[in-house]
Structure 1
Amino acid sequence: MAAFWRRKAQRLARADGSRKGALDPGAAAVVRLLNGRAPFCTTSSCSGRLVLAQGGGAAGAGGCGIHKQNCTWLMVAHGTCPKEEMAALEKATGDVVLKFEPFVLHVLCEELRDAQLLHSVAVDSGFRNSGITVGKGGKIMMAVRSTHCLEVPLSHKGKLMVSEEYIEFLIHVANQKMEENIRRIDRFHRSLELALKPAAGASSPPPGQAETHRPVYRRRRKRRAEPERDAHAAPEGPGEEPEPESDTESSLGIFADMTI
């Protein structure tokens, strides 16, 4: 697909649009693995984060800027967060929420089957809110998402509305979610490596490899079917073959031929 390759080339040539201008370390391995495979191109990612956000509603999980839609981030952490970081609440002058946002990844895929493979691996790895969208122009996007988010209001008009004890409890819960998020990313990366190996091998099998197995299987089935031909009527249509036996019977037949 020429359109896909054009989009991928343009995307990979574009400078990183985030404030820090680089991938999150926690997402880098997955992003590089996918971009190194022909049918995939990542368009945005975030490894997951803990945020103290003030005003303007929630910031989206796809970007990494400090100001998003009139929302100021008083504190951002892409890993577990010590409770000392919550001292940023002292800077609050408006409504502040503590948010945990899990790993998110958007991937442009060449074909629908590529997106389906990626979706299956993502769901099995714990990212059960993942999904596929197909645009009118045939643009296929796969989003890797999770559901274990957290958003808790802490202050109103600059006034802290909860106790210090409760803040410590929230940090503990948020850090547990971050640790689970890291485990899921690692599981997704390892599963993706395994899933892409056979997929890469299947696209260009060694010449004659598939043919070497099929004739052997047919000869054994044919040899076993010879005594039964006289007892059964011939197939109705030209070139039709008899209905295949069940998998269990076929396997037992092959095993018997091999052992006799």
Structure 2
Amino acid sequence: MDRSAEFRRWKAQCLSKADLSRKGSVDEDVVELVQLLNGREQFFTTSSCAGRIILLDRGINGSEVQKQNCCWLLVTHKPCVKDDVIVALKKANGDAILKFEPLVLHVQCRQLQDAQILAVRSTHGLEVPLTHKGKLMVTEEYINFLIKIANQKMEENKKRIERFYNCLQHALEKETISMTSYPKEKIKEKNNSSYTHKKKRNPEKACGKYITEENNKELENDDHDDPGISATIFPEDY
């Protein structure tokens, strides 16, 4: 079966499905980025989150923070206030965790060189325990301090989304120009060389092209029967 045709079929099938996220729709701050990716034939998104502040209760017997087994006490994709967190904490029965999570995109890519444009990881997060077995372990003053930090991270995350969008748009436009300027033989030679002459990219110097060593190994070991390659985007070092 033609892999390009299979990828197009898979993309159409995935994008036609209903949004199964808790919110039920794409977050406002990441709509343009999702549209940009889905508008290119070599990509499609399978899930996304623009960034959020959440308060999780992992229960009395929980030993690890597992979101799928937690009670969601509070979730917001906008800056939050102390009073909302205090009210939500009263519902905690176990170990409540305040978290900030940055932008996450899961993107299916047609080929390895397409994934190399996108693969980025980030440590721009926050995770702090507030209660133990339902008992508040910190002061309200400290909670207010944490919320200010989380809100600052939310604002910085929004700026990074904008920068990432601009860098990605620039990279895709440059790629389009290159594809239309070079003879087909040169393009084929260039694409083949990307598999045999990979080099570690410096995320501080590149704009729109990032790949970590871990992602590179994952992509190389991906199942060859798959019509695409999955890459997770966590924008930080750009």
TM-score of the pair, normalised by structure 1: 0.63
Per the alignment, residue 74 of structure 2 pairs with 75
| Residue 166 (str. 1) matches residue 148 (str. 2) | no
SS in 2 for 1:33: helix
Per the alignment, residue 168 of structure 2 pairs with 192
Per the alignment, residue 90 of structure 2 pairs with 90
Distance 2:25 2:68 in 1: 22
Q: Residue type matched to 1:77 in 2?
A: T
How far apart are residue 20 of structure 1 and its match?
2.6
| Residue 48 (str. 1) matches residue 47 (str. 2) | no
Structure with bigger RCO (C-alpha 8 Å, 6+ apart): 2
Q: Residue type matched to 2:151 in 1?
A: N
SS in 2 for 1:42: strand
Per the alignment, residue 64 of structure 1 pairs with none
Greater Cα radius of gyration, structure 1 or 2: 1
Instruction: Give CA-to-partner distance per residue, 1:194-237, whole Å, 9 cap, x none.
Output: 11112223333499xx9xxxxxxxxxxxxxxxxxxxxxxxxxxx
How far apart are residue 6 of structure 1 and its match?
2.0
Instruction: Give CA-to-partner distance per residue, 1:20-77, whole Å, 9 cap, x none.
Output: 3210111111101100011111111111111110015435xxxxxxxx4220111101
Instruction: Give CA-to-partner distance per residue, 1:163-207, whole Å, 9 cap, x none.
Output: 111111111111111111111111001111111112223333499
How far apart are residue 16 of structure 1 and its match?
0.8
2:41 aligned residue (35, 38, 43)? 38
Distance 2:8 2:65 in 1: 34
Residues 103 and 146, structure 1, Cα contact 8 Å, conserved in 2: no
% same residue: 57
| Residue 58 (str. 1) matches residue 65 (str. 2) | yes
What 5-or-longer segments of structure 1 have no aligned partner? Answer: 60-67, 120-129, 131-144, 211-260
What 5-or-longer segments of structure 2 have no aligned partner? Answer: 187-238
Per the alignment, residue 115 of structure 2 pairs with 115
Distance 1:3 1:25 in 2: 30
Residues 24 and 47, structure 1, Cα contact 8 Å, conserved in 2: yes
Q: Root-mean-square deviation (CA), in Å?
A: 2.0
Distance 1:52 1:98 in 2: 5
Distance 2:46 2:72 in 1: 23
Number of residue equivalences: 176
Distance 1:146 1:10 in 2: 30
Distance 2:170 2:160 in 1: 15
SS in 2 for 1:117: coil
Q: Residue type matched to 1:39 in 2?
A: Q
